[in-house]
Amino acid sequence: MVRKEKSAATAFVESAERVEWVEVVLRDGQTYQGNVIRNPIRRTGSVVNALDETRFDFSLDDVQAVRRVGDPRHMDTASNASLS
């Protein structure tokens, strides 16, 4: 049995699935924030942003980087609580 090595993009997206809110940077410079869903069979992924009610599908090969960013849903709650 031949074992394929994971590409860097696959590793990025795989780790992003475990983080609640990330920013995905594509090779063409586009960035998307939200939750990541990965389809390893098709080698695709999706960024779902519940706040904007958007979904963007991408190929794993197009991913340049994945960054963990603060979840705006929790940031708004924290700032609202400090104002009260």
Residue 29's Cβ-side half-sphere holds a number of Cα atoms within 13 Å equal to 0
Which of 55, 59, 54 shows the shortest CA–CA distance to 13? Answer: 59
Look at the domain 8-83 and name its fold: SH3 type barrels. (2.30.30)
pTM over 0.75: no
Element (H, E) at 39: strand 31-39
Could you read off the pLDDT of 15-25 as tens digits, one per residue? Answer: 777 778 899 99
Instruction: Kindly tell me the burial class for residue 23, based on how many C-beta atoms sit within 10 Å of its own C-beta (0-12, 13-18, 19 or more).
Output: middle
Q: How far apart (Å, rounded) are the C-alpha atoms in residues 35 and 71? A: 10
Residue 76: its pLDDT value, please?
57
Say yes or no to pLDDT of 3 above 60. Answer: no
